[in-house]
Structure 1
Amino acid sequence: MNTSQPIYSATWQSPSNLAIVKYWGKKGQQQPINPSVSFSLSKAVTTTTVELILNDNRGTFSFYLNNEEKLSFRDKIQRFLNHLGHEIPFIQQYHLRINSSNTFPHSSGIASSASAMSALAFCLADLHQQVNPEEKISRQTISSWARIGSGSAARSVFGGWNLWGKLPEIPESSDFYAIQLTDKIHPLFQTIQDDILIVSGKRKSISSSAGHDLMHGHPYQQGRIKQAHNNTFLLLQYLENGDWEGFSNLAENEALSLHALMMSSNPAYTLMLPNSLALINKIKAFRQKSGLPVTFTLDAGPNIHLLYPREVKNKIKTWEEEELKPLCENETIICDHIGEGPRKIN
């Protein structure tokens, strides 16, 4: 049987997320060695469509990025589908045509795998329920599925603030899925802004997966695990109390600690670029001079996330345009903010 017409189809949009306490290093099957806390973005999203096609190529898939077939992602997606095959039997019964698009550069340190894999997990859950209407898939299960594709994707299945990683003091927490921090978030952090300063949109020289692997045997691994646990509890307090100064200090410390782990790996590597450091210095100098609540973080890449409460957006606009924009690649800034999470596209 040969047909290109889909029998079933699902389209979902899922956000990238920005970790304040960073996940770095893993164990077992995509489980974190330390807890992490993030918030989901609003505009930095991946939109994915998955179509189930009944033809002679059952149990196969094709992947397209912006309607152009991309073979470089095949191995990652194949491993993901292989793992989920026993939970989603239709993977072996159809050809899957997967088409994705991003609103931001992929593989440049803005957690594109988090948004991509969570969007794919939502599509598969949606299709599973179309094929088996009597079965319902929970967000917890989707988070667990997304984690297999990319650890940080576990946190992208919810909006707002999220926690991933088992903490004995928080019984509902888990290494297998994220939980949403719906309670005790101060209004200050419910409207947090994230202006992504694009230092480079190019693919990173070292992937995050390779970076995680280098944490095995890292001389500072145990110290990092302890630091992340302590910072998780501190951050939860700051988010509840509306403590911007504490949040700012912790966010910057976590970001620079992450990059210090990279620089002290074996082999060592550096993802920050000269303009990354120039932007950090600009942000610190402006904060000291103006007294305004601006801070920064980085993910595993060179791009800087400028964080601030929504109420000061107009007060920093001129400074951002005049001082920060010229240091960005093609003067590119993605102005984003905390978002409501994934949504189905009809």
Structure 2
Amino acid sequence: MCEVHRSVFTEMAYICQKFQDLTTNDFIAVSSSNIVDKGSTTWRTPSNIALVKYWGKRDPQLPENPSISFTLNNCHTITSLSFEKKSKIDKSFSFKIIFEGEEKPSFQPKILLFFERIVTYVPFIRDYDFVISSENSFPHSSGIASSASGMSAISMCLMQLEKMLNPTISETYFYQKASFLARLGSGSACRSVKGELVVWGEHKEIKGSSDLFGVPFTSEIAEIFKNYQDTVLLVDKGEKQVSSTVGHDLMYGHPFAKCRFEQAYKNISKMKSILEKGAISDFITLVEKEALTLHAMMMTSQPYFILMKPKTLEIIQKIWDYREVKDSNICFTLDAGANVHLLYPKNEKQAVQIFIEEELAVFCQNRHYIHDEVGSGAIELTGL
């Protein structure tokens, strides 16, 4: 039985009190004399894959433990936000959602909740009629963090509107607030604003780290972890049986929750050292243990559930066999779904991608997989 003398939450709260410079009040938009009647903006924001996982949160969308992720490049969402000043200003939110060319009323409740959470910080959203048009480069709701890329894309668009209204805001503030807003839509979305490695959650060893937004990992990174590759093996493109939101809620009262939060906090320290030293064997062990721990928490919650599929396990075994036979540095991680992220250094790219096509594609739905790599974060698209 794990004895926790002081919970991670308590330690993080202490650190927050001592070191955190920004509070939620710092993100309330200031009034501006600029008038913007209508316009549009388009951003492309990536998904991300956590190396040390976050699983469990408290209101309002704050993590119970810190996490660190690779920002991806090819798995992304492109969102255009069109806006026009309401003819009559009221307290309601006015928006229409178009996803991959079709209007999506089913997305309305999530965006409405998001607007309700952020209106204190961007009160101007009550003044406009919005059309939100999005498309993904990967299957929605299949466990590739579509909410992360989707909510961060909307947040970038809203911050672009805020900058039109108040051109004096700094670039640093722009991105920090975009991450802050994205977090209120989907926790992991705050890690999709910047790259290449992003930490979310207070940690005494990560300079500037915060529960309120993600921060780039600024320590030195060994050469082997630069340009890291991630092939997403699409075992199941369908929507997950249990949403991440439900899964997070099941950490309340979970018998192993406190031990897990403490473990993740310690694993951030370990990962920091691993990334600095280039200790790839330790990286493999820690990343795979984190993935399996995440799913172990799902399998031991009440009610318990399993998101892995039989083909997920077959892929994992194939990865282990290949690593042993070829003396390779490949490893896997899992998000909250059945799909497998195969991580490997760029110097193994050619050999690993042959292995994927010859031995792993057969376990993927319609032999579908996505070759990806570490990316730099959100990009504004112009001329669209």
* TM-score normalized by the length of structure 1: 0.96
Equivalent in the alignment of 2:123: 89
Equivalent in the alignment of 2:236: 200
Measured against aligned partners, the alpha-carbon deviations of 1:152-188 in whole angstroms (never above 9, x if no partner) come to: 0111110100111111343511111111013311111
Counterparts of 1:34 and 1:17, CA distance in 2: 17
Equivalent in the alignment of 1:179: 215
1:61 to 68, 91, 95: 95
| Cα separation, partners in 2 of 1:57 and 1:210, compared to 1, 3 Å | farther
Equivalent in the alignment of 1:330: 366
In structure 2, the residue corresponding to 1:138 is in which secondary structure? helix
Counterparts of 2:376 and 2:156, CA distance in 1: 15
Equivalent in the alignment of 2:14: none
Q: Is 1:16–1:114's contact at 8 Å kept on the other side of the alignment?
A: yes
2:81 to 50, 53, 59: 50
Pair 1:247-2:261 in alignment = no
Pair 1:31-2:78 in alignment = no
* TM-score normalized by the length of structure 2: 0.86
What residue ranges of structure 1 are gaps of 5+ in the alignment?
1-5
1:316 to 352, 361, 384: 352
| Cα separation, partners in 2 of 1:113 and 1:57, compared to 1, 3 Å | farther
Amino acid at match of 1:53: E
Counterparts of 1:198 and 1:87, CA distance in 2: 37
1:166 to 202, 216, 231: 202
Counterparts of 1:84 and 1:319, CA distance in 2: 46
Pair 1:20-2:73 in alignment = no
Counterparts of 2:328 and 2:168, CA distance in 1: 53
Amino acid at match of 2:260: R
TM-aligned CA deviation for residue 193 of structure 1: 0.2
User: Alignment length, in residue pairs?
Assistant: 341
Larger deviation, residues 186-195 vs 212-221:
186-195
Amino acid at match of 1:64: I
Q: Is 1:8–1:130's contact at 8 Å kept on the other side of the alignment?
A: no
Amino acid at match of 1:29: P
| Cα separation, partners in 2 of 1:265 and 1:298, compared to 1, 3 Å | same
Q: Is 1:57–1:95's contact at 8 Å kept on the other side of the alignment?
A: no
Pair 1:292-2:344 in alignment = no
Counterparts of 2:353 and 2:194, CA distance in 1: 30
Counterparts of 1:321 and 1:171, CA distance in 2: 41
Larger deviation, residues 300-309 vs 54-63:
54-63
Equivalent in the alignment of 2:225: 189
In structure 1, the residue corresponding to 2:106 is in which secondary structure? coil
What residue ranges of structure 2 are gaps of 5+ in the alignment?
1-36
Pair 1:7-2:38 in alignment = yes
TM-aligned CA deviation for residue 111 of structure 1: 0.6
2:298 to 254, 259, 262: 262
Please show how residues 210-225 of structure 1 align to structure 2 within 5 Å.
210-225=246-261
Pair 1:282-2:339 in alignment = no
Amino acid at match of 2:358: E
Larger deviation, residues 162-171 vs 190-199:
162-171
Amino acid at match of 1:7: K
| Cα separation, partners in 2 of 1:186 and 1:60, compared to 1, 3 Å | same
Q: Is 1:53–1:97's contact at 8 Å kept on the other side of the alignment?
A: no
Q: Is 2:205–2:269's contact at 8 Å kept on the other side of the alignment?
A: no
TM-aligned CA deviation for residue 72 of structure 1: 1.6
TM-aligned CA deviation for residue 315 of structure 1: 1.8
Pair 1:111-2:142 in alignment = no
Q: Is 1:57–1:94's contact at 8 Å kept on the other side of the alignment?
A: no
Counterparts of 1:274 and 1:29, CA distance in 2: 36
* RMSD of Structure 2 on Structure 1 (CA): 1.3
Equivalent in the alignment of 1:74: 108
| Cα separation, partners in 2 of 1:253 and 1:57, compared to 1, 3 Å | farther
Q: Is 1:48–1:101's contact at 8 Å kept on the other side of the alignment?
A: yes
Amino acid at match of 2:52: V
Counterparts of 2:359 and 2:215, CA distance in 1: 38
In structure 1, the residue corresponding to 2:80 is in which secondary structure? strand
In structure 2, the residue corresponding to 1:203 is in which secondary structure? coil
Equivalent in the alignment of 1:147: 183
Larger deviation, residues 310-319 vs 323-332:
310-319
In structure 1, the residue corresponding to 2:265 is in which secondary structure? helix
Counterparts of 1:104 and 1:16, CA distance in 2: 10
Larger deviation, residues 74-83 vs 290-299:
74-83
TM-aligned CA deviation for residue 56 of structure 1: 4.9
Counterparts of 1:24 and 1:284, CA distance in 2: 25
Question: Which 4+ runs in 1 deviate beyond 4 A?
Answer: 55-58
Equivalent in the alignment of 1:3: none
| Cα separation, partners in 2 of 1:116 and 1:57, compared to 1, 3 Å | farther
TM-aligned CA deviation for residue 230 of structure 1: 1.3
